[in-house]
Amino acid sequence: MADTSQKSDHIADDNGASGLPENAFRELAADEQYHPVMHPAHDYPEVTPYSVIMGLVLAVIFSAAAAYLGLRVGQVFEAAIPIAIIAVGLSGALNKKNAIGQNVIIQSIGACSGVIVAGAIFTLPALYILQAKYPDITVNFMEIFLSSLFGGILGILFFIPFRKYFVKDMHGKYPFPEATATTQVLVSGEGSKSSNGSQAKTLVIASLIGGIYDYLLATFGWWAENVTSTASQWGTALAEKTKLVFSVNTGAALLGLGYIVGLKYAFVIFAGSIFVWWIIIPLIGAYGAPAIASLQPEAIFSDYARLIGIGGIAMAGVIGIIKSSSIIAQAIGLAGRELKGKQQSAKQVRWQTDISMKHIVYMIAVALIAVLAFFYIGVINTFWQTLIAWLVVTVIAFLFTTVAANAIAIVGSNPVSGMTLMTLIIASAIFVGIGLNGTSGIVASMVIGGVVCTALSMAGGFVTDLKIGYWIGSTPKKQETWKFLGTLVSAATVGGVILVLNKVYGFSGPDALVAPQANAMAKVIEPLMMGGDTPWILYMVGAILALILNWLGVPALAFCLGMFIPLHLNTPMLVGGAIAYFVSNRSADADVNNARRDRGTLIASGFIAGGALFGVFAALTRFAGFEYDNPLSMGTTQILGCIMYLLIIAYLIWDSMRAKTLR
């Protein structure tokens, strides 16, 4: 990374560096403070009828769209960036003044859609999938709705005490890729200054280039989406003999994500990936049982090696919880002091004001009582089994809140499916031990898994919203308060959409919904509840590996995320991180390096924003029935994939290097 001790308030170029303050993305010096876009001493329009109504409308639209696309075509998209783009466009079309505070609220409410959808469709459709085999399994709207609602509420309430730590105390220490891209979009729509206008122009151009590039790639496939060694004869022979595979996704959005993550974390993530793909999989392929050794590398990864990553993520989460114990203790201590009336009532500045801890504690108590009642009345019906299930949910959801937030802050990707899978395994083992098994155990586990999955998904998404608000200068209390309404609306929408989709398409048959994550959950939960083997050894290996990594000083969560995420998605992270390092270290002038780094961040944010928005268009194109029969051979598309990927890399480097400093 570039030297962060330099202050470059005068940095600019004809197209602008970052529209945010110069120190928005770096660590602060001992005597330095961050001043957000919206002045802390002033009040700005944030919660208005316009911002709330638009936020709710977009929450409904994107909840329905995300649930539909996620289940129908297996494509889950992040809603935060497209919603931010729409909010900026609407405020511009309506000629609203000082709209940035309102746009933050629109984005924060609307973004409930993506996180609630992820929590719901990763788990609850597994009940429909297993219902085909076990007809006595029942699913209803209230189970889906309340599971999503309570999970979302717990995720909000459990994260608020940690807001200050993640978004303020750790300023500049985490890359926050998605929050960075979304903030750049929101800031680009503000102001009439020439610098802001040129920044917006740079962002729009990058968004169009990245978005159109990814749309053509996904819709027509003229060049390979994944360039892989197995596309060649020598690569296929190598994979058959040694199980060695190399692959890289050629999309612009992932390249931009890697740039923002930076070389440090990207390298650790990639190291975890090649540890699985170039060491573990070849070892299993060479010395495993014949039935395993005969599998393709991708099958060995999904059925065996990836499970080591899940165990590692779980242990890395435990390590993170232990390391965060002082932060957790501080939050609990603050709540205790407020409840006793001993907390100092010092006036806080607007942009650092949260819902009071006293109110948070009361709301957590009410929410947990409601969850207990829901489990007892609607799911389990035996009080002592209900109580154990409730304790499992409470402890795991609270403790893993910080893990989900950490993952989003580092790589912009929440390993919620991996953590939920581990939760299901642990919970199912406990339930079987107390006699809750069979089909009733399946229903209990999946509904409870839905609560935990949604809570962790919400915590990860909410840290993005609050980091955006911190950079811009919004009032956290307002974001936190109105997040509950967005959660309610999104949960109701998702519940209705899942029921309708099941009636129209179903989860079995020739036109069945894809639901890849829910199918994976069903595959894991059935043998646990109906009798079968669980790969505890693989989970234990991952857990031991995480302990060793932590002992060696390697970021265990980032490494294990690399083990869990496929290789072709991790390789672009390293490429993007390497580009970020290259453009920010070429000059002897630190100001020029900083300008180039900031311009590259703006372009990378455009790639992510364009990829997210045009990804929705690509999915809708597929749904509309458009089918394109690509006449090109695999070899040709692979070569074109390499060429196009090199071109988009060259563009990112060239445009970033255009930045200069004003003299």
Going by the DSSP 8-state scheme, the letter that residue 633 receives in this structure is -
pLDDT value for 9: 36
Region of 60 on the Ramachandran plot (φ > 0 left; ψ -120 to 50 alpha; else beta): alpha
293-344: pLDDT as tens digits:
888 888 888 888 888 887 887 788 778 777 767 766 776 676 666 666 655 5
Pick from 233-237, 543-547, 604-608 the range whose average pLDDT is largest. 543-547
pLDDT value for 146: 92
More confident site: 495 or 68:
495
253-284: pLDDT as tens digits:
889 888 887 888 889 889 999 999 999 999 88
pLDDT value for 339: 63
pLDDT value for 347: 58
Residue 248 backbone dihedrals phi, psi, to 5 degrees: -145, 135
DSSP per-residue string spanning 607-629: HHHHHHHHHHHHHHHHHTT----
pLDDT value for 5: 36
pLDDT value for 125: 84
39-56: pLDDT as tens digits:
887 888 899 999 999 999
pLDDT value for 15: 33
pLDDT value for 373: 92
Mean pLDDT of the chain: 81
Lowest mean pLDDT among 133-137, 142-146, 354-358, 550-554: 133-137
Residues 6+ apart with CB under 8 A from 366: none
Helix/strand/coil percent split, the chain, to 5 = 70, 0, 25
DSSP per-residue string spanning 397-460: HHHTHHHHHHHHHHHS---HHHHHHHHHHHHHHHHHHTT--HHHHHHHHHHHHHHHHHHHHHHH
Model-wide pTM > 0.85: no
Determine which helix (DSSP H) or strand (DSSP E) holds 227, and give its type and residue range.
strand 226-228
Kindly tell me if the per-residue pLDDT of 548 is higher than 90: yes
370-426: pLDDT as tens digits:
999 998 988 887 888 889 889 988 888 887 777 778 777 876 555 566 667 777 777
Confidence of residue 74 (pLDDT cuts 50, 70, 90): low
121-161: pLDDT as tens digits:
877 888 888 887 788 887 788 888 999 999 999 999 998 98
Distance in angstroms (rounded) separating the CA atoms of residues 336 and 339: 5
pLDDT value for 149: 94
> 122 and 521 in contact (C-beta within 8 Å)?
yes
467-497: pLDDT as tens digits:
999 999 899 999 999 999 999 999 998 888 8
